[in-house]
Amino acid sequence: MNHLNVLLRVLALFFISWATTIAAEGKPLNETADKLEKIAAGVPGTIGYYVMTVDGETLFSRNAEESFTQASAIKIPILMEVLAQREAGKIDWNQSHRITKGNQVGGSGILSQLSDGGSQISTADLAVMMIVLSDNTATNLLIELVGMENVTRRMESLGLTKTLLRRVMMDTAASARGEENVSTPAEAARIMQMLAQGKFMSREISDEILTILRKPKSTAVRKAVPAEIVVANKPGSIPTVATEWAIVELAERPYIIILMANGGPETRFVEAFTEIAECVHKSLAANDD
């Protein structure tokens, strides 16, 4: 009986210690959740977000299943389809594409400023330009190369039925008809998790995509996270819309943060994204220590 009493006492102390630790960790997360909600509620329009660890623990969410217009964040699924078709031998990574007035479009990027027919760009370089410079001409050339419907079909094959590529970049007529490129915070988080875990195609292909996404760019999440921490991400914004999909490679606890907003001033959305990302990172970095 004495041995049993000692065992029970040890178990009781262990349980108390475990419960105290869980409660201590949970309190800061609950406080952070309240702060995030306050930030999101204070901005005109609708903000959604989804924050999860790379191993799948949901930490914070708001409007996670709501569809949001994506702006340039939709370029991540396009990049995934480009790499998938390259691996299947359907497209040539080194093929050159002539830049002409016929395929140049405005908005972000540099290719629209080049001379008519004066330059040729490889498929590989178009992919980098699409992500790093958010080049719309590069994006449209890649959409034409792989087929718009194949991007959505690829997402569907992954169980992502709300991530839809419906139009090329700068197609104002399609946009006016409501044919927007959309996704949800939850689906975008799943896409980034697949990449982080090496589960899209293969570890090698996932890493190749992540290498492109890690290339430096100025974004709300990048601004919120210390420079020494790697961020793999893609932002996007058009009038009344802002988005960002990101993996923050925090040493002990890498996490995914998805930010989406529609129906308000995009500049204010981006400011709110930075506030949200700072709040999230401070909370997780403190627990990481």
Residue indicated by tokens 């009493």: 5
- Domain 74-178, what fold? Beta-lactamase (3.40.710)
What is the pTM for the complete model shown?
0.89
Q: Note the CATH number of domain 34-66+184-289.
A: 3.40.710.10
Cα torsion angle, 70, 34, 281, 208, sign: negative
**Distance separating alpha carbons of residues 277 and 111, to the nearest angstrom:** 31
**Distance separating alpha carbons of residues 221 and 268, to the nearest angstrom:** 14
pLDDT at 16: 44
Domain boundaries, the chain: 34-66+184-289, 74-178
Per-residue pLDDT of the chain (289 residues; tens, 9 = 90+): 456 565 456 444 444 444 444 344 455 678 999 999 999 999 999 999 999 999 999 999 999 999 999 999 999 999 999 999 999 999 999 999 999 999 999 999 999 999 999 999 999 999 999 999 999 999 999 999 999 999 999 999 999 999 999 999 999 899 889 899 999 999 999 999 999 999 999 999 999 999 999 999 999 999 999 999 999 999 999 999 999 999 999 999 999 999 999 999 999 999 999 999 999 999 999 866 5
CA distances from 203 to 57, 197, 209, 234 (A): 21, 8, 10, 20
161: amino acid identity, one letter: T
pLDDT at 22: 39
Cα torsion angle, 50, 169, 141, 85, sign: positive
CB 84 within 8 A of CB 201: yes
Question: Tens digit of pLDDT for each residue in 196-219?
Answer: 999 999 999 999 999 999 999 999
| Encoded tokens for 258 | 């998805």
Query: Under 8 Å CB-to-CB from 243, ≥6 apart: which residues?
Result: 68, 70, 71, 72, 73, 235, 236, 237, 259, 260, 261
CA distances from 118 to 113, 134, 186 (A): 11, 21, 42
The secondary element (H helix, E strand) that includes residue 182 is strand 182-183
CB 17 within 8 A of CB 212: no
The β-bridge partners of 164 are 182
